[in-house]
Structures are given as C-alpha cells and as structure tokens.
Structure 1
Amino acid sequence: MSPIAEDDIVRRLRAAGCVFAEEEAALLLEAAASPEELEALVGRRVAGEPLEPLLGFAEFGGLRIRVDAGVFVPRRRTELLAREAAALTRPGDAVLDLCCGAGAIGAVIASRVPGAVVYAADVEPAAVRAARANLDPARVFEGDLFAPLPTELRAALAVIAVNAPYVPTDAIALMPPEARLYEPAVALDGGADGLDLHRRIAVEGPDWLAPGGSIVIETSDEQAARTAALFEASGLAARVLTDDDLDGTVVIASRRPPTP
C-alpha cells in the first residue's frame, strides 16, 4: 500500500468534521508504524472514534497519558483540577486521585510534586488497567469510591482530587458522539441532577482527610454553588474556583481549623 499524503489525511478529517484536522493528521502519522496501520487509523477516526484511544495517549498537563479504548479521556478543563490539587500537595503527602479514569490527575501531581505518594481508585476495570500503566500499579485500586482503599489511608490523605461524573442523566444524549458512544456511562452519568456522586463524596470524603486536608472536585459553573453547599454541610470550608481559559470549575473544600 502506498503511503497516504498528509494533505489527503487532512482533507478526509475535515470532511468528517474534525476541527483540528492538521494537528490530528500529524499525530496519526506519528502513531502509525506502517501505511496500512495509518489507513486503518484514519478510517476509524473518520468513522467517529475518538482520537486519543487511537493514538494510545492523551496530552494532559504537559504529559502523555496512556488512554485505551473504552476509557474516559481526560479533558483540558480538568487541568485546572490537577493544577490546584498539585498546588496543595507537599513532598511526602499522601494524595488520592478518586474516580481516576486513566490516572491523569495523579500523574500530573506526581510529576509536579516529587515525593508525593499518589494513590488512585476507580470502579471501572478498564480505567484501572490504564491507570496502573500511568501510576504506581500497587497504589491503584478497583472499587466503588473509597471502599477499596487500605484502611491506613483513613484520616491520612492530604489531598483528594476528584473528577467524579457530574453530567445529568438526561443530558448525556446531548454530549458529542465521541463521549456518549465510546466512553463508559459510569464515567459520565451523575444521576438526575448530576450530583449523585458529589453527595456521596461530601459525606464519605472528610473521614479520609488528614488534619488540614482538602478535597478538590471538578464541577460545572451551573452546579458549583450546589456542590460547594454539599461540602459545607459536611463541615468543610468550601470555595469555588474557575478558569475561563480552560473553561474549568472546581470546588476546593478544606477542613476547618479546630475551634480554640
């Protein structure tokens, strides 16, 4: 098979509606080991498969994160969550990447804070496999929220970084096909109002925080006040932080200092 010209790849990607056709074409050319593999990758992308699993990685926070088919792809807006969680972390701190997906947030924290001890957990087996490729596999656990964690982490985590699903169930049908057709529903569906997991984490999370520890959780601009209120109701001091450049919103909920 003759090599495919880059301009032909760009043309096909544009026709399929790919906004960043030039950048995607360059990445597909880099990823393919042969003309046959390149043709297959371009065909799958044109058919609607998300780019990152085809490449085997996602660019996130300056890192290349391994991403497999059927695993939630880290979004650029979540770089706000990773940045703020890393800023709260000190060398030697125990940190949890909860609902970790491929472990992108934990990987950024580990890269920016040498000596941080990063744990991760997710309920989805494919995500756990990917996270074990991006993080220390001995510290990546499979199960529902905090349930699979070692008991010695209770009251010992300096930072809990969370990108739990927060899309309302009825809104999933409105998401781009790349997400709703190729990513697991468990990574998207946040229940009727999108906050089912946030409610559980607000109740369970404080028991896992060390003194002075913080939970940093991604949410939407529309849901932020309600997310913050959930953590306030659990006794944490919560504030909302947004980044317009990233189109990201997080709630940072921290243990209140003890009353003298």
Structure 2
Amino acid sequence: MEDQMEKSIIERLRSAGCVFAEEEAQLLISEARTLDDLSTMVNLRITGTPLEYVLGWAEFCGIRIAVDPGVFVPRRRTEFLVHKAVALSTPGATVVDLCCGTGAVGVAIAKALGWIQLYAIDIDLTAVRCARRNVTSLGGLVYEGDLYEPLPAKLRGKVDILVANAPYVPTEAIKLLPQDARLHEPKVALDGGDDGLHIQRRVAKEASLWLAAGGHLLVETSKMQAPQTFEIFAQYGLIPQVTHFDELDSTIVIGTQPTPLA
C-alpha cells in the first residue's frame, strides 16, 4: 500500500515537471504528519510551490535551514561562498551577512567555525523574521534595514568577514529565471538593477568603512559579471581576486582590505 502511494506521488510529481520526483516524493512522505498533510503538500508542489516552501526547510552545507514562503531559497552554489569565507576566518571572527535572506550563509559559517560574532541584515521583513529563526539560536543578531544602515557603529573598522549574496540578476533577465524563483521569491532578492551590479556597487562602496585591516568582502556573482565586480572592488580600494568552482558553477569575488604600512 505504501509502495503504491509513493509510486502515485512520484507519477504526479513527474507529470508536473519535477525532475527529481523520486527524491521529492520521499521527502514529502517523510515530512508529512498525516495523510491529509501529505495530500496538501503534494498538491502545493504539483501546482508550482517551491519544494523548500512546502517542506519548510532547505538543506545547505549539510544543515537544515528554516525557509518561510516568500524568502529567497538558499542555493547549492552558494555553499562555495561559505567555503571561501570559512577558509579566510578563525573562530571568534566578526562576520556580517548582508542581504542575508534565511541567514543560511552566516549560520553555515558559524557552524563550521564553532563560534563567531554574527550579524545578519536584510531589507525584507519576511526574510528578517525567517533569519531570526535560524540565526538567534547561535547567538547571532539579525537586523532589518538597507545594507550597512542598521549595523551598530561600534563595528566600524572591526569586521573580519563581510559576506553578501546580493542580488545580481539584471532586471530584464528576471523573466528568464526558473518559475520557482520568478513567481515565488521576492523580486528584491533577485533584481540587481540594469546590469545586475547595482547592489554589489553599494556593498563595495562602503565595505572599507567596516572592514578591519586585512578583512575580506566576499560576494557571489556570475562568471560573466566577475570581471566587472573585480573592477568595482578595486575602484573602492579593495584588493580583488576572482575564484570559481566548476562543480557548483559558482563564482566568488573576494576583496581584501589593505593593511596599513607600518
């Protein structure tokens, strides 16, 4: 009976265009508390609701991250951003996660290092509420506001790691995104302006005010946009480098705050 039910769900998901129908069916069955719950969850999924919204969570860097409807869903490719940030950090580091969404990046960095001073910020109240569910249990603080605006002034010149998975999709390219993102995720988390670099420019412009000497700004971008992001970082006084990870098709630009000469 259970096998028949699972096969039926798989067929329905596959007919709706779910590429990983078998894996999704197993997740839905394992998360549903009752048959009525399962029916509701399957119906939501086959009508286009992102799987993470249906489940209420996403797996990111091996961690279960709470995801609320209307919040940007953390992507596998962004795990590379975490990996690079961790490699540049030490336990106890002061880390700021701009455009934090669910707070997944900051949480994953904190889990990897054991303990950090974590500050997460998003302009969207729905994201802030979701991030608080993920971040505060680790002792981190979450603020609602526009980029650096809500950060405590005491952090100026004291931040070791700035991470920003800022939106970098050009406005006109949003219509080309997969339906899950285009119809369900907030535009503010996707829209990077005319060339996709508007938010990155704003992040880089003020980064030097907040970074400690030798501190790092890390942003995710596209392979095509990386040369421009590199130039933006250099323009605002950071020492830039580009790194790419083929397996996740992930491109990160790192800007280092120069250390003053003695």
TM-score by length of 1: 0.97
> Partner of 2:5 in structure 1?
5
SS in 2 for 1:72: coil
Separation (CA, whole Å) in 1 of partners of 2:218 and 2:52: 25
Q: Secondary structure at the match of 2:184?
A: coil
Partner of 1:184: 186
Structure 2 counterpart of 1:70: 70
* Aligned position for 2:223: 221
Say how many residue pairs are matched. 259
RMSD: 1.4
1:22-48 per-position Cα deviation (integer Å, ceiling 9, x unaligned): 110011011111101101110110001
Q: Distance in 1 between matches of 2:39 and 2:75?
A: 27
In 1, the alpha carbon distance for the partners of 2:200 and 2:44 equals: 35
Q: Are residues 1:18 and 2:12 paired?
A: no
CA distance in 2, matches of 1:235, 1:215: 12
The SS at the match of 2:239 is: strand
Q: TM-score scaled to structure 2, two decimals?
A: 0.96
Amino acid at match of 1:178: D
Aligned to 1:33: 33
**What is the SS of the residue equivalent to 1:136?**
helix
2:121 partner SS: strand
Q: Secondary structure, in 3 states, of the residue corresponding to 1:5? A: helix
Whole-angstrom CA distance in 1 between matches of 2:125 and 2:103: 13
CA 1:141/1:3 → structure 2, altered by over 3 Å: closer, same or farther? farther
Deviation at 1:177, TM superposition (A): 1.0
Identity %: 51
- Pick closer, same or farther for the CA change 1:259–1:155 going to 2, 3 Å: same
Partner-residue secondary structure (3-state), 2:247: coil
Q: Secondary structure at the match of 2:91?
A: coil
2:56 is matched with 56
**Structure 2: gaps spanning 5 or more residues:** none
Structure 1 segment 41-52 matched on structure 2, within 5 A = 41-52=41-52
Cα contact 1:4–1:35 (8 A) shared by 2: no
Residues 91-130 of structure 1 deviation map (CA, whole Å, 9 limit, x = unaligned): 1111011100000000101100012111100001111111
Kept after mapping to 2: 8 A contact 1:89/1:116 = no
1:247 corresponds to: 249
